[in-house]
Amino acid sequence: MSLETHDSEQEHIASAISDEVVIELNKVNKWYGEFHVLKDIDLTVYKGERIVICGPSGSGKSTLIRCINRLEEHQQGDILVNGVTMDTNLKNIDAIRRDVGMVFQSFNLFPHLTVLENCTLAPIWVKNTPKAEAEQVAMQLLERVKIPEQASKYPGQLSGGQQQRVAIARSLAMNPTIMLFDEPTSALDPEMISEVLDVMVGLAESGMTMLVVTHEMGFAKRVADRVIFMDQGEIVEQNTPDEFFTNPKSDRTKLFLSQILAH
Amino acid sequence: MADTTQEDAVFRPKPSLPPPPNTVGVIGWLRKNLFGGPFDTILTLLGGALIAYVAYSLYEYAIANAVWEADTYRGCLDHVLPNGEKVGHEGACWAGVATWFDSYIYGRYPDTERWRVNLGAIVLAVWLAPFWFPKVKAKILVGMSAVLTFPFLAAHLFLGGEPGLFLQAMVAIALTAFATVWLNVLASYMGYQSLRVALLRLSGFENKGDHLHKYVLLAACAVGFVIAFIYQSTWTLESVPTLNWGGLFLTLVISGIGISSALPSGIILALGRRSKMPVIRVFCTAFIELFRSVPLITILFMAVTMMPLFLPEAINPDKLVLVIVAVCIFAAAYMAEIVRGGLQAINKGQYEAAQAMGLSYWKMMTLIIMPQALKLMIPNIVGSFIGLLKDTTLVSIIGLYDILLMAKASGQDSKWLGMHTEPFLFTAAMFFVICFCMSKYSQHLERTIGGGYGRR
């Protein structure tokens, strides 16, 4: 479905990659107990790059991006974010988390706070921004995701697409340099997927470094600078979208593409 | 499905209609629910007869044959109606309850000093009243100031005698806090946003820079403290040892302190039990499991008989203090498990979203997790409080004259020997009223701030 709804006629958006390395993963290995979930992952992400990670379920793609902001701990290897090493030092982890925003599949908005309070919470309590300034920034972001009129409503009163857009605004409120998306549209019904994808395309066009785990191949074709295919904890193939979709090198990738592009 | 032409291609949904009206009101309800068929009708009649019989017996006992004025229990039993009927035996002796009423409420607190108990209750009620005033901001501070400082004020007020310097200072702080709360209310309703704003504006310091503000506020606090200290040192209150405290007053003191300390300590214990740090986790788990597995009565006995053996000679705590500590520990262990249940009910995604934003552990707990967890657990928390209130009657077994022991004692007094039922009925009614009010308040809380399906 994804290929037809977002016209392939749309141009791939302009690239904004710089030379600066923002994320570096060196020989990262992770185990859940005995289960080896990430195997020797090597990945370098440059500033302004937009990466789409795809693969079958259980391939470790969510685990990979969750390791980047320490929602999961890796047992072996190095992870560097904006030059800061990821280890058990809490100060490093906090510094990294302030620079990295994350959008979840199940939105994870705070139900006891209004939309505006959701967006101002982190700036006020982590960065000590004065309340008025935080609210101003939050309203600007809500306008950017096109739902400023919902500011005083509670998350339970919004539709799924609106909630996910609030989640994006909430992550942007901390002014991150990197945004991680963990299957942001997988829990939405088809009519709402495009409103969220439009926001993400707008974000990409503004030059944000993005790592997106998704099944939306149309989005990958339009936005991604690199598409990474993962299976069984390994990066099987990574390439530009053109090359990836037309000339997949590995058999596993060919099998995956044949399945996902079949509808 | 009719043939669609070009004009019909636009989708026009059918208009929404109201649901069909209910069938025939009260009579219909009665016919359906009470007199639906022959079996239902017989059940209704039998049930109605049973209710009528019980209600009439109660009426006869409690009202028709009841004796309202008598000097002794014998006088109650021998009471004779104007027409010569001897009904004392079949009626309630409310005269006894009326005579002993003050003792049920105050215990053996001296008659002339009972105004102090009343004053304490009134002060607490007035202190907490701003909760219901919409214009007052920072209601949490009202509650916290009351919970933290009122016990000292109450202790001095109820105990009397010669307070030490520490108690005097704490009483002064409590008086200052009380005055602050009400000056704040006054300021809010007089157009200033809060007392802080009022002070700054009136002293002319409002626009002189933020770093000067705190000096003004500190000065105001210091002045208030000094005035309060001088004021309380002029009080001379007759000493009333805790031995003489009793009745509903004692029950409310013990359970009041137990209730207000249970929630904070329960939260700390629950967080400790879920902690990743092994020493804290083991300690909290052991504490909770130990004090949950042992009956409250044994904890009370241990506290009263064994604690004095372990404490050094110099510290000779009052029996009431030991009892209150025991009740607080017991309540905290139960509350910890309730809070832990609430914490477990929170979606893992909430923790992750908070962590991904860079919130520290305590900020995450205070701002995100605890508000949701506690709101989910309101029925359990208030239920635990209600249970605690009733559990405090156990102190009667170690000789503290709470309302239950007073009720028993009134039936052993020489003039009222043998009067057992009426005091217990009165005590039961007293507990019912208090617990029912707490239950109603719980329902109110669930409706307004409840975290369950109401919000979703």
> Across the interface, do A174 and B358 touch by the CB < 8 Å criterion?
yes
Maximum Cα interatomic distance, chain A, rounded to a whole number of Å:
55
Confidence at residue B8, expressed as pLDDT on a 0 to 100 scale? 64
**Sorting pLDDT into bands at 50, 70 and 90, what band is B21?**
low
Cα gap A263→A143, rounded to integer Å? 35
Q: Catalogue the long-range contacts made by A11-18 (C-beta closer than 8 Å, 24 or more residues apart).
A: A11/A222, A12/A221, A12/A222, A12/A223, A12/A241, A13/A201, A13/A204, A13/A205, A13/A222, A13/A223, A14/A205, A15/A48, A15/A225, A16/A48, A16/A207, A17/A46, A17/A47, A17/A48, A17/A49, A17/A225, A18/A46, A18/A47, A18/A48
Confidence at residue B34, expressed as pLDDT on a 0 to 100 scale? 80
Chain A contact for B123 (CB, 8 A cutoff):
no
Higher pLDDT, A200 or B87: A200
Whether residue B455 is predicted with pLDDT greater than 50 in this model: the reply is no
> Across the interface, do A112 and B455 touch by the CB < 8 Å criterion?
yes
Confidence at residue B454, expressed as pLDDT on a 0 to 100 scale? 46
Q: What does the pLDDT average to over B231-244? A: 85
Q: Which of A190, A254, A181 is nearest to A220 (CA)?
A: A181
State percent of chain A over pLDDT 90: 71
Q: What is the pTM of this model?
A: 0.83
Q: Which residues of A touch B352 (CB under 8 A)?
A: 71, 104, 108
Contact criterion met (CB below 8 Å) for B149 and B170: yes
> Across the interface, do A125 and B368 touch by the CB < 8 Å criterion?
no
> Across the interface, do B375 and A112 touch by the CB < 8 Å criterion?
yes
Any bridge partners for residue B364, and if so which? none
Tokens in use for B144?
A: 């916290």
> Across the interface, do A112 and B372 touch by the CB < 8 Å criterion?
yes
Whether residue B88 is predicted with pLDDT greater than 90 in this model: the reply is no
Whether residue B3 is predicted with pLDDT greater than 60 in this model: the reply is no
Whether residue B24 is predicted with pLDDT greater than 70 in this model: the reply is no
Q: What does the pLDDT average to over B168-186? A: 88
Cα gap B346→B143, rounded to integer Å? 26
Whether residue B222 is predicted with pLDDT greater than 60 in this model: the reply is yes
**Sorting pLDDT into bands at 50, 70 and 90, what band is B259?**
very high
Higher pLDDT, B395 or A263: B395
Any bridge partners for residue A36, and if so which? A31
Per the prediction, chain A carries an average pLDDT of 90
Confidence at residue B290, expressed as pLDDT on a 0 to 100 scale? 95
Chain B contact for A71 (CB, 8 A cutoff):
yes
Higher pLDDT, A140 or B184: A140
Those residues with Cβ within 8 angstroms of residue A115's Cβ, 6 or more apart along the chain or in another chain: A109, A142, A147, A150, A151, A152, A153, A154, A155, A158, A166
Contact criterion met (CB below 8 Å) for A51 and A228: yes
Least confident of A177-181, A246-250, B154-158, B184-188: B184-188
Whether residue A228 is predicted with pLDDT greater than 80 in this model: the reply is yes
> Across the interface, do B367 and A125 touch by the CB < 8 Å criterion?
yes
**Backbone phi, then psi, for A24, in 5-degree steps?**
-135, 125
Cα gap B50→B54, rounded to integer Å? 6
Higher pLDDT, B405 or B192: B405
Does residue A38 sit in helix, strand or coil?
strand
Residue of B nearest to A90 (CA): B360
- A234 sits in which H/E element: strand A234-239
Interval A93-124: pLDDT, tens: 999 999 999 999 999 999 999 999 999 999 99
Cα gap A229→A54, rounded to integer Å? 5
Q: What does the pLDDT average to over B69-91? A: 77
Chain A contact for B367 (CB, 8 A cutoff):
yes
Chain A contact for B238 (CB, 8 A cutoff):
no
Whether residue B206 is predicted with pLDDT greater than 80 in this model: the reply is no
Cα gap A39→A118, rounded to integer Å? 36
Q: What does the pLDDT average to over B219-234? A: 87
**Sorting pLDDT into bands at 50, 70 and 90, what band is B23?**
low
Interval A177-187: pLDDT, tens: 999 999 999 99
How does DSSP assign B390-456, residue by residue?
HHGGGGGGGT--BHHHHHHHHTTSGGGTT--HHHHHHHHHHHHHHHHHHHHHHHHHHHHH--STTT-
> Across the interface, do A97 and B451 touch by the CB < 8 Å criterion?
no
Cα gap A223→A205, rounded to integer Å? 8
Q: Which residues of B touch A125 (CB under 8 A)?
A: 359, 363, 367
Residue whose tokens read 């990659």: A17
Contact criterion met (CB below 8 Å) for B92 and B61: yes
**Sorting pLDDT into bands at 50, 70 and 90, what band is A6?**
very low
Q: Is the ipTM of this complex over 0.85?
A: yes
> Across the interface, do B363 and A125 touch by the CB < 8 Å criterion?
yes
Confidence at residue B32, expressed as pLDDT on a 0 to 100 scale? 78
- Residue in B350, B357, B378 to test binding to A, most A beta-carbons within 10 Å: B357
Amino acid at B242: T
Contact criterion met (CB below 8 Å) for B176 and B218: no
Cα gap B142→B416, rounded to integer Å? 46
**Cα R_g (chain B), whole angstroms:** 30
Interval B25-77: pLDDT, tens: 777 777 778 877 889 889 999 999 999 999 999 988 888 888 888 888 888 88
DSSP A118: H
Confidence at residue B180, expressed as pLDDT on a 0 to 100 scale? 86
Confidence at residue A147, expressed as pLDDT on a 0 to 100 scale? 93
How does DSSP assign A172-227, residue by residue?
HTT--SEEEEESTTTTS-HHHHHHHHHHHHHHHHTT-EEEEE-S-HHHHHHH-SEE
Per the prediction, chain B carries an average pLDDT of 86
Q: Where are the alpha helices (DSSP H) in chain A?
A: 2-5, 61-68, 90-99, 115-126, 131-144, 160-172, 190-205, 217-223, 241-246, 251-260
Whether residue A10 is predicted with pLDDT greater than 70 in this model: the reply is no
Whether residue B5 is predicted with pLDDT greater than 90 in this model: the reply is no
Confidence at residue B363, expressed as pLDDT on a 0 to 100 scale? 94
Any bridge partners for residue B93, and if so which? B67
| Shortest Cα distance, chain A CAs vs residue B454, angstroms | 10
Least confident of B149-153, B200-204, B325-329, B337-341: B200-204
Whether residue A8 is predicted with pLDDT greater than 50 in this model: the reply is no
Tokens in use for B360?
A: 């520290």
Q: What does the pLDDT average to over B85-113? A: 85
In degrees to the nearest 10, what's the CA dihedral of B173, B175, B180, B186? 180
Confidence at residue A1, expressed as pLDDT on a 0 to 100 scale? 42
